[in-house]
Chains A and B, each alone.
Chain A
Amino acid sequence: MNSSSYIAALEISGGAVLVFALLTLWRRDVKANVRMLRLQGVSLACVAGVLALHQHDLGLAVTAVLVLSVKGFVAPELLHRVVRRDPRSRETAPLVNVPASLVTAAALIVISYAVSTKIIALAPSPPTRLVPIGVATILVGYFMLVTRRRAVSQIIGLLLVDNGIALVTFLLTAGVPLIVELGASLDVLLVVVVLQVLLANMRERLGTTDLDQLRELRD
């Protein structure tokens, strides 16, 4: 893989991760958001794959496959099941309206650029230059987590944060040691499973997954 097409592939797949994060903020339809999440997982795996090809790193290639299966397929599939079983929560109910959240997202992107300057300065290379994109994905995920009241949307926000962190990890260090990566992927999967079970229980017992209904624990 020659260097300019390597950089282009990296930029496009990295940029796609953030674009899909923004699209989840844009669309209200939860089903569409799950689809975006799936595409984001695939783009993330592409980033890992491109890096693995360029550096001839077998561990990273394994990681790419792992990411593709966990973040591209299994986790979104689990979410998809939750959404399918819960027709009433098809539309998210954002606390902040969509234009305002998108404008906030724009501000977050700028902030993440400012935050990342120190990191880029330490080791300027094509992958590290893209770190602001990962940081922005994390911040957008956070924002989604804070401003959405549907349970599924919060899980999506959590996974956005997670994908952003994974992107930063790949860009900065071409992946942490494989054992840590394995553990981290497994953890993500388990968290999603735990949340899914929790939601299923919640729906069974309380008949809703609207978190606004849960407001008893207050001081």
Chain B
Amino acid sequence: MLVTLILLVPFVTGLLVFVLRWGPWIGRLMSASALAVLAMGITLSVTTSSHAPLTSLHGALRADALSSFMVVVIGVVSLLAALQTTRAMNHEILSGTTQRQASSYSVLFQVFVTCMLAAVLAANLGVMWIAVEATTISTTFLVNHRRSEKSFEAAWKYVILCSVGIALAFLGTVLIYFAALHAGNGSHSVATLDWTSLMKVAPRLDPGVVRLALAILVLGYGTKVGLAPMHSWLPDAHGQAPAPISALMSGVLLTVAFYALLRFKAIADIALGINFPRYLFIVVGLASLLVASAMLIAQRDYKRMLAYSSVEHMGLLTLGAAAGGPLAIAAVLLHVLGHGMTKSVLFLASGEIHHDEGTTAIAQVNSLIARRPMLGGIFGVAMLSLLGFPPFSLFVSELNMARAELDAGLWWVVLISLGCLGVIFASMASHARSMLLGPSAVPASNDAPRSVVVPLVGALLACAVIGVSSWPLLSLLHDAAKVLLP
């Protein structure tokens, strides 16, 4: 019941928004819905970490510790994004979009969130695929919200690339289904894409087919995750979408697709042994890190800078998943949460900066801290968090992922990724410095209002608290990691 409710709340809110049209209080309604999802997600996590997974709708929906954790992440990030919706839409309306676009924005926002929740709660990997594909469809018009030439280009690239990628993911899913169909000696074979039964037959799946399937799945879902070399839609889409949508896409959409990959990797690990999945993940992970570090050095646009940083973090997640094992998976999940919160704070703050400064060029923004201390401060602190400074949680998770990689004997991977992280650190720090520091001729004014400051500061504080003491999450993370282990 709880599981169904998690899907119903954002969906019904979406219907309400559709009927009621755009109004200043719509943002509050959406925030309430996101808050409810977050609360239910936490309840669900507590329930599933101590008990068996919950199922609902005749087993179509299934929530284990991993799904519940993802629900929490989606809840947190969508809450942050929903809280900024009213303000972001008012900005967009000022710069020329219509009220109608604002209403369709809010409806699609809710659909988008519902689809992501459905993806993580689906018991059947085929249904999960449908939900992930539906996220592409629902976000196209969100990316194209401004209807400018640039946003058309971004939206077009986004739909075409992600649709093709996701189509490939379907092929991979079908191959897994085919392998399951022919697992064992006929009498034991089960025609299924259901997660639990797939995990049961996993040891008997044909290695040749699973190997091909995993490679195709990495290519397919990897497009949606934004792993290099399939990442080219990501900076465009993130750069053109309204700030809350960029926050949602970067904060959770990428990791929802990554969640799908994690599920398939767990099956492949059993069917193939860990080596093939590990090296496959290492290759794409390192490629993403290298691409991100190369593109960040001379980046001129701060929204695109944040997007490339997402490519980097997805690469880190992939490397963590490659290491495998309980510690690595727990660290990966913690990283998912930390990155989701930090990146959405950054995107929301950059939305404010964009509105105030009228540009997304790094070179044209300067001495932000002197002119708008709150906004500049939030952006700066969030940058520190993103770059992996203690006490924020990304520091803890990156450290633990590196530890897990070392334990797995992948010291060379750690070495290369440290090199890339060094480059990324230097370039992003210098970009941030040129935006934030420096004296200003005009006195501080026109700073971000409390409605912006409170949630963002809250999210950063939460990151710090989790970083300092991960006690509220520790058992939860380990339970979630256990789901993926045989």
- In the complex they form, whether A and B have CB atoms below 8 Å apart is answered with yes
Q: How far is the CB of A137 from chain B (nearest CB, A)?
A: 11
User: Which residues of B sit under 8 angstroms from A177, Cβ to Cβ?
Assistant: 124, 126, 191, 193
A194 vs B167: C-alpha distance when bound (angstroms) = 16
Residue of B nearest to A190 (CB): B137
A40 vs B420: C-alpha distance when bound (angstroms) = 47
A183 vs B137: C-alpha distance when bound (angstroms) = 13
Indicate if B270 sits at the interface (CB-CB under 8 A).
no
Chain B residues close to A by CB (< 8 Å): 124, 126-127, 129-130, 133-134, 136-137, 140-141, 144, 147, 149-150, 152-157, 159-160, 163-164, 167-168, 170-171, 173-175, 177-179, 181-182, 191, 193, 206, 208-209, 211-212, 235-236, 239-240, 295, 298-299, 304
Residue of B nearest to A145 (CB): B164
Q: How far is the CB of B364 from chain A (nearest CB, A)?
A: 17
Q: How far is the CB of A192 from chain B (nearest CB, A)?
A: 10
Indicate if A100 sits at the interface (CB-CB under 8 A).
no
**Partner of A191 from B130, B144, B163 at Cβ < 8 Å:** B163
Total interface residues on A, CB under 8 Å, equals 42
User: Which residues of B sit under 8 angstroms from A165, Cβ to Cβ?
Assistant: 167-168, 170-171, 174
A184 vs B132: C-alpha distance when bound (angstroms) = 11
User: Which residues of B sit under 8 angstroms from A122, Cβ to Cβ?
Assistant: 178-179, 182, 206, 208-209
User: Which residues of A sit under 8 angstroms from B239, Cβ to Cβ?
Assistant: 217
Q: Interface with B: A41-49, A60-68, A71-79, A197-205, which one?
A: A197-205
Q: Would you give 24 A-B contacts (Cβ < 8 Å), ordered by A?
A: A115-B212, A118-B211, A119-B175, A119-B208, A122-B208, A142-B164, A158-B160, A162-B167, A168-B174, A173-B178, A176-B193, A179-B124, A183-B127, A184-B170, A187-B134, A187-B137, A194-B137, A195-B159, A198-B144, A202-B152, A205-B147, A205-B149, A211-B156, A216-B149
A161 vs B160: C-alpha distance when bound (angstroms) = 11
Report the 7 A-B pairs with minimum CB-CB distance, sorted nearest first.
A180-B126, A183-B130, A118-B208, A214-B153, A172-B178, A217-B236, A187-B133
A214 vs B150: C-alpha distance when bound (angstroms) = 7
Q: Are B147 and A201 neighbours in the complex by a CB distance under 8 Å?
A: yes
- Given contacts A161-B164, A183-B130, list 5 more A-B pairs with CB under 8 A: A122-B209, A172-B177, A180-B127, A190-B134, A205-B149
User: Which residues of B sit under 8 angstroms from A215, Cβ to Cβ?
Assistant: 153
Residue of A nearest to B304 (CB): A219
Indicate if A121 sits at the interface (CB-CB under 8 A).
yes
User: Which residues of A sit under 8 angstroms from B171, Cβ to Cβ?
Assistant: 138, 165, 168-169
Given contacts A205-B147, A205-B152, A198 and B206 within 8 Å (CB-CB): no
A128 vs B174: C-alpha distance when bound (angstroms) = 13
A66 vs B72: C-alpha distance when bound (angstroms) = 37
User: Which residues of B sit under 8 angstroms from A39, Cβ to Cβ?
Assistant: none
Q: Are B159 and A194 neighbours in the complex by a CB distance under 8 Å?
A: yes
Best-buried of B134, B171, B304 by chain A (most CB within 10 Å): B171
A219 vs B300: C-alpha distance when bound (angstroms) = 8
Given contacts A119-B209, A198-B152, A206-B149, A176 and B160 within 8 Å (CB-CB): no
